[in-house]
Structure 1
Amino acid sequence: MPQSSVLLTQEPSPQTVQICDLPHKVYEIERNTGPYSSSGSATAGFRTAKYLSEEWYQNNYARYHEAFADRDHAERNRHESKQLTCETEALCRRTQLDSSKKVGERLQDIFFWKSELQREIEDLLAETELLNGIKLRMERALDALEVPFSIATDNLQCRERRQPPDLVRDNVELELLKEAELIRNIQELLKRTIMQAINQIKLNREQKEICELDWSDKVETYNIDEMCGRYNNRSTNIQFHAHSTKFEESASCPETWSKYTHDNIYKAEREKMASINLRLMMNNILNDTAEDLRLQCDTVNLAFAKRCEEIDDAKHKLDHHLRKILVEIGDQEKNISSLKQAIKDKETPLKLAQTRLYHRAQRPNVDLCRDAAQFRLISEVEELHMSLRALKDKLVESEQALRNLEDTRMTLEKGIAIKANSLFIDQQKCMAHRTRYPTILRLTGYQ
């Protein structure tokens, strides 16, 4: 093909062919070199690139066809664009309404869990305050136990100063030992319970902090979703965020989201129930221990009163016997005096009888006769000696009896002094000290 030729092609659409019914032909533009062309040297520059008439008409037809096809395509595109615009507008409205509905439903879910968390936080806070209050009561009750323990130990130490034979392991001492042991056991129980309360308060506060963090996240999320729910197409603060549709790697699913909050509430409820049970147990412990202590205190006081009655009765009996002993000592002293006087009174008759016998022993010869007078004087002397021996024996016996009475008097006086000392210890020391025993309110931790 010659270098000056130009290839023009046109691919009409089927609709164009039907309307124009023009042949599909390739037109060639050539130089005028045929037998009818002018090829003179004078016209060479004007005939070089010109088209034929048929080519001109064909070119016009091609331009008409192209304009018609482009106009038809544009018209169809315009109708399709209008239809697509309506469809996308309806789809956008439906999608936006559905999204707003979903955001509203999500707001309801967030508000529900936020309200549940807030209620649980308030319940935990109130329960922790109550548990802390009863813990303070138990601490005051533990401090109040120092008084009865010091009273019990002081009573035991005071009663160690009793003198024999009153230094006995009586019922009062047994009850005092029981009281001291009971107080020590209660102190250990209260200390262990206070530690449990401290640990439970710590757990309550930790769980409350977890719920508060979750609640804070829910509040922030609620505010964000509420702001999103208020947005509309006329909002002025909306803008493009090209990468906002990307899911975060740390994002949770609705199931794990609700399960997380549900688990937090469940744990908080569990700690709250454990705190309630512990608080009820602590209250029962305070009431039971206070009642046990007061019962034991009453038992000890009753034992003291009974023991004091026994000691006082023994003291009165000793006083009664001492009075009789003193009377008997006086009578015995009189008896001894009378015995000594009787012995002294026998000396003159004895001297008289012996003097008579002495002088009658001076009778001469046959007149030294064993007559009735001699026998009677001899028997008189023997009778007087027997009387003196009997009186002296009785005097010795009476003096021994007097010494025994004196010893008994000293023993009775010592026993009375011991009983008085025991009464002083039990009544003036121990029972007076026990009047400072704490009341039920103090033992249960109330001021």
Structure 2
Amino acid sequence: MAACVVGPNLNTCQPTGDVGEASITHPPMECRPDGDLDCRTKRETFEDSVLMTNTGNDMGISTQGYRSNKYNDIEWSNNNYTKYLQSATDRHNSEVIRNDSSNTMNTTEAITKKTQDDLTKKLGERIQDISFWKFELERAIQDMQDEIDLQVAMKRQLENALRSTEIPLHIATDNLNCRLRRQGIDLVEDIVEKALLQEVKLINNVQELLKKTIAKTEEQLENNRLTKQKMEMDWSDKKEALQIDSRCAILRNHHTNKQFFPGAANFQEIQSTPESWAQFTHDNIILAENERKSSIQLRECAKNILEDTSRDLFEQNNIVQSAFQKRLQELDDAKFRHESHLKKVCQEIADEEKNIENLQKAIRDKEDPLKVVQTRLDARSRRPGVELCRDGIQIGLIQEVDEINTSITTLQKKLMEAQNSLKNLQDTRMCLEKEISNKINSIFIDRQKCLPVRERYPTVLRLQGYQ
């Protein structure tokens, strides 16, 4: 090792180390390697001054020719000293540089390693964050998918329920059309007619409500799918980011899958912050949860609608059935009473016909007595002279004629009354027979045409869309 040793009077400089024990004294020169003035600059200035002042020796003999291109001992010593000093200085500077380089290398190595370890640790933390949000997204996506499946099933159930209402509507309209074939006074807006019209109105309202519910369900399904798609895109991005950060986290200096990317150490123009990154996924999950809650509420509402509508339809069906039974009972009672009255009328007709025959016979029976009395009067009117007397017999015979005529008139009046009564009875019989025919027709329509069709009324489960 070389070092420049400066004497106590700052006028001597002694090299040590590789140059041995030689010591050179040079009064005019001061060497301070650690000072502000460079030793090389001082040495060059000294050599120039020596060459300019050295012209010969002290004896007065010219040595100019011998001095050409030659150096004296001092120059030689100074030159050696200069080289020794230069060597020591360069070695010292080199040692300082090596020490500084070693320290710098160790420091930079430690800094680089620490930075790399810190970033590797942060990558691990980032991976945990990504994994956490990825798991939360997976859970939210699965929950949304389950809700979509349930909502699709509910939509299918609503559509089944809507289709099932076509059967009650067809039954009700068929009953109304069949009952239009009732005749006479039986074509009345009775309790069955009112119940059927109410049933048709109820079915139309139910269909309208189910259609609106289906439309809301389809809209909610669209929102659910859009929310799920948004979360899936977020999940896909996080999966890709997780793969990238995982590769980065396990990448080490000894790996071969690394290379220089000079333009990589730049911030992209559009980048999210950690807060906005977490908030983005958080907002997606909150949005999905809100949509899922809305979807659940809509499903519960649809379920209640199905239960209410099916119950209302089935209750209305029971009302119609009860109305039919009540109306049929009324028709049966009316038919029975008409038949009873018809039977009595027919009996009365028979009796009246017998009465008419008796009256006619009674009138005929009055002809012979009338002939007898008139014959007597005619015979006695031909009595001669004073014998043509208005005696009691004459008066009695005339009274008998009047009596018989009065009886005949009375009997004829009764005969006319009986004949009118018979005609009325016959008209009544025809009306009763027609009414009975109408009742039979109405009973046939309600019992044979309407009620069998209503047996095909769907069940409550089918009205709720389960079948």
**TM-score, normalising length from structure 2?**
0.88
Deviating more after overlay: 422-431 vs 288-297: 422-431
Which residue in the other structure is 2:430 paired with?
Answer: 410
Amino acid at match of 1:434: R
Residue 114 of structure 1 is matched in structure 2 by: 134
1:301 aligns with 2:321: yes
The partner residue of 1:285 within 284, 288, 305 is 305
* Superposed CA offset, 1:250-287 (max 9, x none): 11110010011111111111111111111111111111
Letter in 2 for 1:51: Y
Q: Match for residue 102 of structure 1?
A: 122
Name the stretch that deviates more: 425-434 or 354-363: 425-434
Question: Letter of the aligned partner of 1:142 in structure 2?
Answer: L
Q: Would you say 1:166 and 2:186 are equivalent positions?
A: yes
Q: Choose which of 77, 87, 111 in structure 2 pairs with 1:91.
A: 111
Helix, strand or coil: the match of 1:370?
coil
User: 1:141, 1:92 → 2: CA distance?
Assistant: 71
The SS at the match of 1:436 is coil
Task: Specify which structure has the bigger relative contact order, considering alpha-carbon pairs within 8 angstroms and separated by 6 or more residues.
Answer: 1
Per the alignment, residue 383 of structure 2 pairs with 363
Which amino acid is 2:190 matched to? D
Structure 2 match to 1:229 = 249
Alignment of 1:276 onto 2:296 = yes
Q: Is the 8 A contact 1:318 1:412 kept in 2?
A: yes
Aligned position for 1:200? 220
Change (3 A) 1:11 1:418: farther
Q: Which residue does 1:312 correspond to in 2?
A: 332
> For residue 383 of structure 2, what is the amino acid of its counterpart?
R
1:6 corresponding residue in structure 2: none
| CA distance in structure 2 between the aligned counterparts of 1:284 and 1:399, rounded to whole angstroms | 72
Distance, in Å, in 1 between the alignment partners of 2:436 and 2:289 is: 70
Aligned-residue CA RMSD in angstroms? 2.2
Relative to structure 1, is the Cα distance of residues 72 and 359 closer, same or farther in structure 2, using a 3 angstrom cutoff? same
Letter in 2 for 1:265: I
Shift of 1:197: 0.8
Number of corresponding residues: 431
Q: Residue 385 of structure 1 aligns to a residue in which SS?
A: helix
Q: Distance in 2 between matches of 1:12 and 1:194?
A: 102
Shift of 1:31: 9.9
Structure 1: unaligned runs, 5 residues or longer:
1-9
Q: Please name the residue that 1:210 is paired with.
A: 230
Q: How far is the alpha carbon of 1:16 from its aligned partner? A: 8.5
- Correspondence for 2:20: none
1:253/1:36 CA distance change after superposition, 3 Å: farther
Aligned to 1:352: 372
Deviation of residue 170 (structure 1)? 1.6
Q: Deviations over 1:87-140 (max 9, x none)?
A: 333323322221111111111100010011111111111111111111111111
Inter-partner Cα distance in structure 2 for 1:162 and 1:133? 45
CA shift, 1:249, in A, is 1.1
CA distance in 2, matches of 1:317, 1:185: 41
For 1:404 and 1:444, how far apart are their aligned partners in 2? 59
- Tell me which amino acid in the other structure corresponds to 2:458: P
For residues 284-333 of structure 1, what are the alpha-carbon distances to aligned partners after superposition, in whole Å with 9 as ceiling and x for unaligned? 11111000000011001101110110111011000000000000100100
Aligned-pair CA distance for 1:426: 1.5
Whether the 8 Å contact between 2:130 and 2:238 is mirrored in structure 1 is yes
**Which has the higher mean CA deviation after the structures are superposed, 319-328 or 154-163?**
154-163
User: How do residues 40-59 of structure 1 correspond to structure 2 at under 5 angstroms?
Assistant: 47-59=67-79
Deviation at 1:218, TM superposition (A): 0.5
| Cα drift, residue 238 of structure 1 | 2.0
In the alignment, which residue of structure 1 is the partner of 2:399?
379
1:16/1:65 contact within 8 Å kept: no
TM-score (norm 1): 0.92
Shift of 1:406: 0.2
